[in-house]
Chains A and B, each alone.
Chain A
Amino acid sequence: MNKKVQFTLNGTRVSREVPTHRLLLDLLRDEIGMTGTKEGCGTGDCGACTVFLDGKPVNSCLVLSGELDGTNIVTIEGLKIGPELHPIQKTFLQDGGAQCGYCTPGMLMMSKALLDENPNPTEDDIRFALSGNLCRCTGYAKIVQAVQDAAAMIRSKNVE
């Protein structure tokens, strides 16, 4: 069954007919052609497909396209601030938070969700926030470091 939905994607209005059972993940990747959001499991277990839906991080493999009417979606393609990398992208780059990079978009989105809510997280807060995002390359240490550094960077900017 198809349904017409209208939503905002990375600040742009989108209006299209979608099969209601189509996963948001597949809609983004296969129909809209934005492959920055990654598929790692398709069952909500790995976090690689994390996007923001109305300001909250969700696994896009667990969201049906039929539910999207009137929503606001932000994907990894919308994380940059204008032409500039977001602080969390900068610190992942500087600290070596990405290796193969496949879990990275999801990690970045989840890290941003944490920092939006808690600008001064402890190491435990970060580990807990990211515990649903699997990474097989880095061993997490450099990711946790990057989130700490991003938090500091954002805080210092806000002070300025």
Chain B
Amino acid sequence: MSELTVVGKPVQRVDAEEKLTGEAIYGYDLVLPNMLHGKTLFSPKAHARIKSINTERAKKVPGVVAVVTGKDALWTHGESVKDKPFLAQDKVRYIGEPVAAVAAEDEDTAQAAVKLIEVEYEDLPVYTDPEEACKPGCAEIHEDFDKYRKAEFVVKGAMPNVAEHFKLRTGNVEQGFKESDLVLAERYFVPIIQHAAMEPHSAHAQFDKDSGRLTIWVANDAPFRALHEITEALGMAKEKIRFINPLQGGGFGSKGGLKVEPIAVALAFHTNGRPVRVKFNREETFISTLTRHEAVVYSKTGVKKDGTLMAREMTIYWGAGAYAEKSPTVCIRGSLPAPGPYRIPHVKVDGYAVYTNKPVAGSYRGYGIPQGAWAGEQQMDEIARRLGMDPVEIRMKNIFVEGDVSYWGEQLHAVGLKETLIKATDAIEWGKKPTLSKPGVKIGKGFACIQKPTRSPTTSAAGVLVNARGEVTVLAGTVEIGQGCNTILSQIAAEELKVPMEKVHMHQLDTDVIPFDASTTSSRSTYHMGNAVRRASIHARQQIMEAASPMLEADVKDLGYSDGKVILKDQPQQALSIAEVVRRKLGINGEVRGDGSYTYEIGKDLDLETGHSDHASAFYMYATQAAEVAVDEDSGRVRVLRMSAAHDVGKAINPLNCAAQIEGGVVMGIGSALHEEMVVDNTGKVRNPSFLDYHLATSLDIPEIIPIIVECPEPQGPYGAKGLGEPGLAPTPAAIGNAVADALGVRIYDLPLKPENVYWAIQKSKKKSAA
């Protein structure tokens, strides 16, 4: 490979300037000509049968154009289980479920009309605890589950309300525990949290009767998947549906699938061709869009005296909320690696995604990894403590290295885990006793390691246009959600075509013109779309060289390419710029188009009985984060003093952006460790649906963060790259939990580590030692 000119460099974001001047148009900002405004009626009941809905009074309000209920939208959707109606049908399953909607000339009118819709409910039993909801005798929240259309990998559990049962079976755990010198079993809990992207959710839709086309404007992170879901639900031809993506103000997993889209679509069929905008405010976003799975994790681990891991058994109850959404895949991809990045001969995992009458849970940055790590990584430290070993030493003994065969049967390569462990712990001076700052404050250190797969197998395709001015336009379906993909993909096109970054432009995402992409999820984009854009750029370059061959009177094999020019290899001063080649070949308005696509070739499918696969993921992301904390014993308040985060990214296409992703992930992780918790009471009501009561990390809450980039190249990745966005917060709570336990000598099993939880854990332990 020739020397890289743009890839690997800390290039500034290409999309920043319009964001800094207020010119950028996000989904929430979009105004369409002649647009109507939609408002939604949400269910006030967590589980109830709908006896009647009366919309007559709402329809009579001046300025109201359409009122729709489930009867007007007899469609269902869902990523892997088609269980969610566009608007509630015969029953509601959570407080916040959309029941009806109004489109009117302005928002005030729409809201006034919503208040006039009368719904009569008949209460049904409410289940809010995933561990309880799957006990024998519980009523099914989805009586018709067996009749729903669903993906092949969905395995319904034998217990009530279990939408997915994932099984991993390796060796014989009972045998493993028998052969162990120490066996520990504990219960851990991770509460519901929310993505809280700064831009709330919204969607615009318009149905044109004459052409029969439905257009949806929405900041969705997977427009092609959303298009497919709408196509399937409505039974419309794919060509009749178009998604256009305005900018997205953060998502973190919340803006995939269908959220506000179904409401906007249901209304759009009744507005005589006028577009309708449906915006959720912050409270509506909290209760009616998506949450991260609460999880109850039982972890039992057996080890030899020397620290060798023998067996690990985990049972995880994933609280799915009222609809399956992405729960089956979170359950699979979160449960499979939950035992941690270690060589363990005997492993048994049971993951259950359990319906409850709570807001819907789905994908969230980290995709199930933080929950498993909160349990597994704290237990690793507890084992080390009981064995009198250093937590680093016990990891070193068992950690995955190059060539290991994992407990799910896959031979691993490009494993940069050990390096992340060494660098992250070195960065916080592991082993060096901290100096006590003041009485009543205890200092501790801790760390956690994770592995994370990516969604596989998937495809990305891209187009690259080179015009007669030498400008390059990239057509890629990766959504700029803030992660920096527009910069990364521009760097790759600039690298392969050897043009300056200013010459590269990203085309707006519009499913009518952009080639297919699976989704902007799972940290898959740099690897998959990066490969596709690279191939498309090379394809364009090849065409330009072929076109230049007669112009330079030379064979293609005698031509070289450098600095945006085709050159004669032995006479480099004989050169033609790519602009000139395109112009001479195709005219002043001509354009060369390169195409490329990338599909990760999966091996055997996941075995549903054992959870084994020889290629469960296109690549694995490895990370270690280490924390130093101060705990105030009197108040229970935890402060993170410094936090290092070492991530194996394969190859950093843009080190500045990598550091930014790591810092952002760590702070999101600190929030989830110390204060974030969406409180849902036992009637199913969210008690803190505002930023006043739901505590995100602020600029005052954050420590010194030390991002560390580790590069263990993935041979299939573009320039060796893997992915980075999702793992940023995955080990954070476990690392902080381990540091708190180190400080106090008391382990806390339930997140978040808010002052009252920590305080009571200290008191409980004091009582215990006094007795």
Binding site for B on A (CB under 8 A): 29-30, 33-43, 45-46, 48, 75-77, 79-80, 85, 89, 92-94, 96, 98-105, 108, 126-128, 130-144
Contacts and interface: CB of A to CB of B under 8 A. Distances in A.
B247 interface: yes
Nearest to A29: B29
Nearest to B702: A140
A100 B660 contact: no
Nearest to A39: B28
A139 B12 contact: no
Contacts of A96: 12-13, 16, 656-657, 659-660
Given A30-B31, A127-B699, 18 more contacts: A35-B29, A36-B23, A42-B282, A43-B692, A48-B198, A92-B16, A92-B20, A99-B483, A100-B198, A101-B482, A104-B19, A104-B20, A134-B198, A134-B691, A136-B197, A136-B664, A139-B705, A140-B702
Chain B CB count within 10 A is highest, among A38, A42, A135, A141, for: A141
Nearest to A99: B482
A94 B691 CA distance: 30
Nearest to B282: A41
Interface stretch (B71-79, B248-256, B750-758): B248-256
A98 B691 CA distance: 21
Contacts of A134: 198, 691, 696, 698
Interface string B610-649: 0000000000000000000000000000000000000000
Contacts of B660: 96, 99, 138-139, 142
Contact of A140 (B656, B657, B659, B699): B699
A93 B691 CA distance: 27
A75 B22 CA distance: 9
Contacts of A105: 22
A40 B657 contact: no
Interface of B: 12-13, 15-17, 19-26, 28-29, 31, 195-200, 247-250, 252, 281-282, 481-484, 656-657, 659-660, 663-668, 690-692, 696-700, 702, 705
Contacts of A108: 20
Contacts of B20: 85, 89, 92-93, 98, 101, 104, 108
Contacts of A104: 19-20
A133 to B, nearest CB: 8
B663 A138 contact: yes
Contacts of A34: 22
B727 to A, nearest CB: 14
Given A79-B21, A96-B12, A101-B24, A141 B248 contact: no
Chain B CB count within 10 A is highest, among A100, A104, A108, for: A100
Nearest to B10: A96
Contacts of A39: 28, 200
B21 A101 contact: no
Nearest to A45: B691
B554 to A, nearest CB: 43
Nearest to A41: B282
A102 B21 CA distance: 11
Given A36-B21, A140-B702, A46 B691 contact: yes
B25 A35 contact: yes
A127 B702 CA distance: 9
Contacts of A141: 663, 702, 705
Chain B CB count within 10 A is highest, among A29, A75, A134, A144, for: A134
Contact of A135 (B26, B198, B700): B198
A58 B17 CA distance: 24
Nearest to A138: B664
A85 B666 CA distance: 30
A101 B197 contact: no
8 contacts: A36-B21, A94-B12, A96-B660, A99-B13, A101-B16, A102-B249, A127-B700, A138-B664
Contacts of B482: 99-102, 137
Contact of B690 (A33, A45, A98): A45
Contacts of A132: 698
Contacts of B667: 138-140
A122 to B, nearest CB: 13
Nearest to A86: B20
A77 B22 contact: yes
A41 B197 CA distance: 11
A77 B29 CA distance: 14
Nearest to A129: B699
Contact of A93 (B17, B663, B690): B17
A89 B12 CA distance: 13
B13 A98 contact: yes
Contacts of B23: 36
Given A138-B664, A139-B666, A43 B656 contact: no
A104 B19 CA distance: 7
Nearest to B692: A45
A72 B15 CA distance: 30
A103 B199 CA distance: 8
Nearest to B26: A102
Chain A CB count within 10 A is highest, among B198, B700, B702, for: B198
Contact of B15 (A29, A41, A101, A128): A101
Nearest to B28: A39
Contact of B21 (A38, A89, A139): A89
B199 A40 contact: yes
Contact of A98 (B16, B29, B281, B481): B16
A102 B705 contact: no
Chain A CB count within 10 A is highest, among B21, B668, B699, for: B699
Given A34-B22, A93-B16, A101-B24, A46 B700 contact: no
Contacts of B700: 127-128, 131
A43 B29 CA distance: 18
B664 A101 contact: no
A73 to B, nearest CB: 14
Given A42-B282, A89-B20, A140-B667, A102 B699 contact: no
Contact of B198 (A33, A94, A136, A140): A136
Contact of B199 (A43, A100, A142): A100
A42 B29 contact: no
Chain A CB count within 10 A is highest, among B482, B665, B668, for: B482
